Chain A
Amino acid sequence: MPGFFTSIQDLGRKGYGSVGVPISGAMDLYSAKIGNLTLQNKETAAVLEVTMGNCKLVFEKETKLCITGADFSATLNHKAIVLNTVININKFDVLSFGKCRFGVRSYIAISGGFKTKKVLNSRSFYHSITNNAVVLKGDLLPYNTDTKSLASTFSIVKRNSLHFNSKTLTCYRGPEYHLLTHCQTNQITSTFFSISKHNNRMAYQLNELIKNDIESMLTSAVIPGTVQLTPSGKLIVLMRDCQVTGGYPRILQLTPEAINILSQKTTQDSFQFTVI
Chain B
Amino acid sequence: MTFNLKYKPYGNQVILIEWPARIEESILEDIINFKQKIKNDNKYHVQDLIIAYNSLTIKYHYPFKDFKKQMVQLKNSYLSLTTRVVTESITWHIPVCYNLEFGLDLKGLAKEKNLSITTLIDRHSNPFYKVYFIGFLPGFLYLGGLDKTLHCNRKIVPRFNITKGSVGIGGNQTGIYPSDSAGGWNIIGRTPISFFNASLDKPCFAKSGDNIKFRPIDKIEFLEIENKIARGTFTLKQN
Contact = CB atoms under 8 A, between A and B. Distances in A.
B21 A218 contact: yes
Contacts of B23: 218
A217 interface: yes
A18 B51 contact: yes
Interface in B4-51: 8-12, 14, 16, 18, 21, 23, 47-51
Contacts of A120: 198, 203
B78 interface: no
Most chain A CB within a 10 A radius of its CB, from B8, B47, B48: B48
A268 B134 CA distance: 35
A245 B48 contact: no
B208 interface: yes
Given A219-B52, A221-B50, 11 more contacts: A16-B138, A18-B50, A20-B135, A21-B203, A128-B137, A220-B52, A220-B53, A221-B52, A223-B10, A223-B14, A255-B11
B199 interface: yes
Contacts of A253: 10-11
Given A20-B135, A21-B203, A253-B10, A244 B198 contact: no
B92 interface: no
A198 to B, nearest CB: 14
B185 interface: no
Nearest to A173: B9
Interface of A: 14-22, 119-120, 128-130, 172, 174-175, 217-221, 223, 225, 243-245, 250, 253-256
B10 A219 contact: no
Contact of B11 (A17, A223, A244, A245): A223
B50 A244 contact: yes
Contacts of A130: 198
Contacts of A243: 135-137
A17 B8 CA distance: 19
A20 to B, nearest CB: 4
A175 B17 CA distance: 10
A21 B10 contact: no
A201 B8 CA distance: 27
Nearest to A119: B198
A245 B133 CA distance: 10
Interface residues of B, number: 40
B155 interface: no
B217 interface: no
Contacts, number: 112
A172 B9 contact: yes
Closest CB pairs A-B (n = 10)? A245-B135, A221-B57, A19-B204, A253-B11, A221-B50, A220-B52, A20-B134, A128-B179, A218-B53, A20-B138
Chain A interface helix/strand/loop/mixed:
loop
A18 B198 contact: no
Contacts of B134: 18-20, 244
Given A17-B59, A221-B57, A243-B136, A172 B179 contact: no
B10 A244 contact: no
B11 A220 contact: no
B49 A18 contact: yes
A219 B138 CA distance: 16
22 contacts: A16-B48, A17-B49, A17-B59, A18-B133, A18-B208, A19-B202, A20-B136, A20-B137, A21-B203, A119-B199, A172-B9, A175-B8, A175-B16, A218-B23, A219-B53, A221-B50, A221-B52, A221-B135, A223-B14, A245-B52, A245-B133, A254-B11
Given A20-B137, A244-B135, A245-B135, A218 B52 contact: yes
B196 interface: yes
A17 B136 CA distance: 10
